[in-house]
Amino acid sequence: MAALRFTNIIGTGSYLPEKVLTNADLEAMVDTSHEWIYARTGISQRHIAADGETTCDLAEQAARRAVQAAQISTDSIDLIIVATTTADQVFPSTACLLQERLDIHGCPAFDVQAVCTGFIYALDIADKFIRTGNCQRALVVGAETFSRIIDWSDRGTCVLFGDGAGAVVVESGPTPGILSTHLHADGAYKDLLSVPVGISTGFRQIIEGTAYTQMQGSEVFKVAVRALGDVVEEALQANELDKDKIDWLVPHQANLRIINATAKRLGIPMQRVVVTVERHGNTSAASIPLAFDEAVRNGRIQRGQRVIFEGFGGGFTWGSILFTY
């Protein structure tokens, strides 16, 4: 009988662009104020990619830091998955572009598009590759230059988003790491949060640079809180665990009100919730690995602790991953 294979996170990394856009900066750009933004979102600042700085640039920096933390060589990586909504090109995939940057050859490399849940989808896929014996070591990245699809005259969206990248290296091991993954989607909500054009429906708007994010905020909030609470409960029930056995909740960093509401519904104290949204804003697929890397590097999240990732994004998509770090 073949030995059971488990997926373990062995290295984390992240990267934020140098440019910081504060709420005070936004006051000069759009009809808003720091007080208005912070009261509704919990965000004080966000990082914005420089002109010419691409999603792959951000992904490369985060990936190299994760590889360094894992203390491995890049030629031992046999799978690359990049979760992004803001790919550098129509094709090749950002994962293939990253593969070339890292001088890795021959292994599968592809992108996943599930917007803010993208990293959870990507890590789920890597876990299945490892559990089925088709991969020994994978690089999973969430990276976004979301500022490129924002209308900076729309105060309902421009105050929310930022750019960044986060990455993990995972490998096959004999002891349980990832315990369970739970993915969901419902396209019936597609119009509540979207960029409503694409290559086949609005190519001219893409060329003109007017393909922007549109959001119905209050409706998104209601569905997000319910879905995020449900998907964490699903993970706990699947593993027959009480919430008191969870050391850390690492949520998608969309909005502090959503994070607070979800934690309250689950009965998880905020002292056990990793929150970076005040300084990063919503970095879409990058937000969970960014927050996780920060908490690992500052010593809050320790080896042997149980962690839950939870995400929610346009589509709608949502999901959770429960693991022992």
List active site positions: 116, 252, 282
Structure tokens at 182: 């739970």
Distances (CA, A) of 181 to 258, 261, 300: 21, 22, 23
Who's near 143: CB < 8 A, 6+ residues apart?
55, 56, 58, 59, 62, 82, 83, 84, 94, 164, 165, 166, 285, 286
Count of H helices and E strands in the chain?
11, 13
- The SS3 of residue 259 is helix
Cα 57 to Cα 176: distance, rounded to the nearest angstrom:
33
Q: Which residues pair with 22 in a beta bridge?
A: 45
| Sign, Cα dihedral of 133, 134, 139, 140 | negative
